[in-house]
Amino acid sequence: MPDPSRKMKQLLRAHAKAPNHVSTARKLAEKADYKSWRGMNLQYGLLGNRVGKKLGLPVADLSVLADFIKRDKLANKEWLILMKPAFAKAVMQMPWF
């Protein structure tokens, strides 16, 4: 797989460095210089698709890399995105991290 783009590297660093690897789409978009959470979500989802396909998984989307907590479930006003621990560990081992 090719190296991630500059923005994706920023996004992955920000998410891996977030407390407990938890953030919101809005915060991640800001950290990676995306214009909105929608662009960030699209790019992160595409990465999940590529990783999932590479692993031969039947479901290849962002859920391969992260879990989600709906807003208001824990008094959160936005959806929370939890980077899966194994993915966070892999990101933190990348030379560009």
Q: What confidence tens digit (pLDDT) does each residue in 37-71 have?
A: 999 999 999 999 999 999 999 888 999 999 998 88
- Tell me the domain boundaries of the chain: 6-92
Residue 30: phi and psi, rounded to 5, are: -60, -45
Helix-strand-coil split of the chain, %, nearest 5: 55, 10, 35
pTM for the whole structure: 0.89
User: How many other C-beta atoms lie within 10 A of the C-beta of residue 62?
Assistant: 20
